[in-house]
Amino acid sequence: MTDMLEARSESDTGTPSVDAPESGAGAPSAASRDAQPASRTRTEKRAAARGRKAARRTESAPQARAEVIDIDVDPNDPLLIFLQTAPGPLEIGALPSYSPAVTRMREQGVQMVVPLVTSGELVGILALGPRLSERTYSRNDKRLLDSLARYAAPALRLGQLMREQEKEARDRERIEQELHVAQLIQQQFLPDELPELGGWHLSAFYRPARTVGGDFYDIIELADGRVMVVTGDVTDKGVPAALVMASTYALLRSTADVETSPGEVLRRVNELLIPQIPMNMFVTCLVLVIDLQTGSTHFANAGHNLPYLRRGGRVTQLEARGMPLGLMSGSVYDEHETVIEPGDIVLLYSDGITEQHDRSGDMFGFGRTADLVAAATSGDDLIDRSVEALGVFSADVDQEDDITLVALHRGRSGGYHDTLSFSVPSEPGNEREVMDRVAAVAESALPLARLDALKTAVSETAMNAIEHGNRGDASLEVSVLVRRSAETITVEIGDYGRGRQRDPDIPDLGLKLAGLQTPRGWGLFLIEQLADRVEEFTDGERHVVRLVMRTDDDIDGIDTGDSDTTEEGARS
């Protein structure tokens, strides 16, 4: 970096003037002088006389003032190399005439150039115009300037470095802030939890890329009881993509209120999006509308990846194609229909998985994705395997794009066979009543060991709701909802607290026996160990813990310690 510091006297004649005021400043006009009254005090008269004198001097003296002018020096200008090794201040005539910068300096009256060199690096140039006294620069002047340069150069370099660092810090902060804002926008629109769909199980995984893409997914429960499942991907990254994603999300939601045909939803959203989407940006989007009772599924596609369907051991894709949203007005989207049979698994996914590269540059691709679908035993299993496989595949490689996976698993029979809803006051001991009433619904669906596990998990959850959620206030009730389908027993226990009270330590018996942990603190541990899945969410002012136990015969492969969060990504 080279700073150009230049000062010259601005004078048409070159005549220096030391004390000349700005033209007209402080000098009354002749007309105003004539108009002044005779009764002025002596002081006022003296002041007026000084003003007149100054005005006369201004009229006769040349205009002169110092100013900084700006000359850009091209980094390749030979002047820079020349000055790097220059012995000290130099007359303009001693500089290489073939330098464009020297030409420009001559044009602007520069007479003396002082290179500012520190640690062998030219960090600035001090360019001076003619002396105000009209004399040439003396040897003493040059010595003084040389001395000045020796002190000024390192100070200037220090200032430059600080300025560079501050700029870099500001740039980094701005980029980080932008990414943070984009992530906040994007995650604001992802579902906090997935709805419980009788006899169906939804699993989802989303992990943003470092630079934030525009993936989104949504589950919309329609007024007619069907469910709309949406996945999409906005091209581009950062805040613009996040804003388009938010806009698309809102348009899809509002359109779903009045139109449930997937093709028509896409058509309308496309028309609404086109006027507001930036140039060169578009949105791929897949919409499925599912009848949970029959499995009848209507779907349409706006340029998104084709979903995979696993039936038995066979994997196919749900074929539907259409123009991405936001590209072309008048686009229409063909609607297709299929039936998702009991036991089927459907995977919706973004290109963050298929287009991820490994160290050697190979893409994960559709083949590997289809293989994962073929091997899946459930939606959760599919997502867990996919995340793991992708992690192994792309070890030591940055994630290139957002990764979104939504798995939809239809159980062997849809719908709930039994539902029980009740509440109990928040009094100690009522957790046993909750446990017994839940057991009455679940006992015919679960083998004894799993029924006992559910009973303890329910008892502990209810006790937490009574003691912590509702703080033992008997006027507050603990609500309980039990649903039994062919595949699952789902128990939702609600209170008016702020969430599960996390113990500060994972219970460790060795530490407890050594007196390093309290003997208590086993409740959440038991719940998480004994239930197949534990979720929590808010419903209005209630905090709800949902316990899920599978009733499948094939439960050997179920990891009862499975949590619902995988790596850094969010799993719903």
Closer to another protein by CB, 254 or 518: give it.
518
Q: How far is the CB of 432 from another protein (least distance, A)?
A: 7
Which among 54, 400, 406, 6 is positioned nearest to 200, based on CA atoms? 406
Q: Is 47 helix (H, G, I), strand (E, B) or coil?
A: helix
Closer to another protein by CB, 26 or 519: give it.
519
Q: How far is the CB of 285 from another protein (least distance, A)?
A: 45
Closer to another protein by CB, 390 or 454: give it.
454
Closer to another protein by CB, 154 or 521: give it.
521
Q: How far is the CB of 503 from another protein (least distance, A)?
A: 11
d(CA 189, CA 213): 14
Closer to another protein by CB, 35 or 514: give it.
514
Q: How far is the CB of 510 from another protein (least distance, A)?
A: 8
Q: How wide is the angle at C-alpha 349 spanned by C-alphas 318 and 207, nearest 5°?
A: 170
Closer to another protein by CB, 293 or 518: give it.
518
Beta strands 200-207; 570-571: pairing state: antiparallel
Q: How far is the CB of 210 from another protein (least distance, A)?
A: 38
d(CA 251, CA 390): 32
Closer to another protein by CB, 344 or 431: give it.
431
Task: Report the half-sphere exposure of 369 (CA within 13 A, side-chain side).
Answer: 27
Closer to another protein by CB, 541 or 556: give it.
556
Beta sheet of 214-221, edge-to-edge order? 214-221, 227-234, 283-290, 296-302, 336-339
Q: How far is the CB of 460 from another protein (least distance, A)?
A: 6
> How many angstroms separate the Cα of 39 from the Cα of each of 32, 52, 427?
15, 18, 99
Q: How far is the CB of 501 from another protein (least distance, A)?
A: 12
Closer to another protein by CB, 330 or 429: give it.
429
Q: Which residues contact 337 (CB under 8 A, 6 or more apart)?
A: 296, 297, 298, 299
The 10 Å Cβ neighbour count of residue 530 is: 21
d(CA 338, CA 410): 14
Closer to another protein by CB, 328 or 511: give it.
511
Q: How far is the CB of 447 from another protein (least distance, A)?
A: 11
- 415, amino acid identity: G
d(CA 539, CA 80): 70
d(CA 261, CA 256): 8
Q: How far is the CB of 280 from another protein (least distance, A)?
A: 56
Phi, psi of 285 (to 5 degrees): -155, 135
Q: Which residues bind another protein (CB under 8 A)?
A: 428, 431-432, 448-449, 452-453, 456, 459-460, 463, 507, 509-510, 512-513, 515, 518-523, 525-526, 529
Closer to another protein by CB, 366 or 522: give it.
522
d(CA 143, CA 298): 88
Closer to another protein by CB, 377 or 529: give it.
529
> How many angstroms separate the Cα of 416 from the Cα of each of 524, 552, 568?
28, 15, 34
Q: How far is the CB of 479 from another protein (least distance, A)?
A: 21
Which among 372, 408, 365 is positioned nearest to 387, based on CA atoms? 372
Q: How far is the CB of 469 from another protein (least distance, A)?
A: 15
d(CA 567, CA 572): 13
The 10 Å Cβ neighbour count of residue 215 is: 26
Report the b/e string of 284-323 with b at 16+ CB within 10 A. Answer: bbbbbbbbbeebebbbbbbbbbbbbbbeeeebeebebebb
Q: How far is the CB of 524 from another protein (least distance, A)?
A: 9
